[in-house]
Amino acid sequence: MNLNLNLNRMAREDCIKEESLATLHRLGGDALVKEMIGIFLDFVPKKMDQVMKGQAAASLQEIEKGAHAIKSSAANVGAWRLQELASQIELTARQNTAEPLPALLQDLQNEFKTVCESLKARCGAD
């Protein structure tokens, strides 16, 4: 198997804390896990748009608000790196420090894509 494919698969598998999904499963079975993943896949793209529009408009307040929502949603499904990035972006925007945001937002977009691929694969969504 191609090394890049292995690394991509490993990144997708590593982006979610299994214990978070196990907790959801313990609380409500497969139905709750699928519901929480569905909510994430519906809600977070809207917040990603908010963050990117905030960047385009140079609105640190919009970036902060969107990042806060992403942070919380990522925590719900165990997307730990996405949660950490969103937290860092939220804090950076709150401190009115725009300089590091472009690189952080690019990392956020990349991690979001990886998390979505992983969650979709877990619940058989396309």
User: The CATH number of the domain where 9 resides is what?
Assistant: 1.20.120.160
Q: Which residues of the chain have pLDDT under 70?
A: 1-13, 125-126
What is the amino acid identity at position 115? V
**Of all helices (H) and strands (E), which one includes residue 30?**
helix 18-56
Query: What is the rounded distance in angstroms from the CA atom of residue 57 to the CA atom of residue 67?
Result: 15
Residue 53 has a pLDDT of 97
Residue 13 has a pLDDT of 57
Residues with Cβ within 8 Å of residue 61, at least 6 apart in sequence: 54, 93
Residue 3 has a pLDDT of 35
Residue 126 has a pLDDT of 47
Q: Is 118 left (phi over 0), alpha (psi -120 to 50) or beta?
A: alpha
Domain count, the chain: 1
Give the dihedral of Cα atoms 86, 120, 114, 28; nearest 10 deg: 40
Residue 125 has a pLDDT of 56
pTM over cut 0.75: yes
**Each residue's pLDDT tens digit, 37-68:** 999 999 999 999 999 999 999 999 999 999 99
- Alpha carbon 47 to chain centroid distance? 10
Return the SS3 of 9: helix
Domain that includes residue 45, residue range? 3-123
Residue 2 has a pLDDT of 37
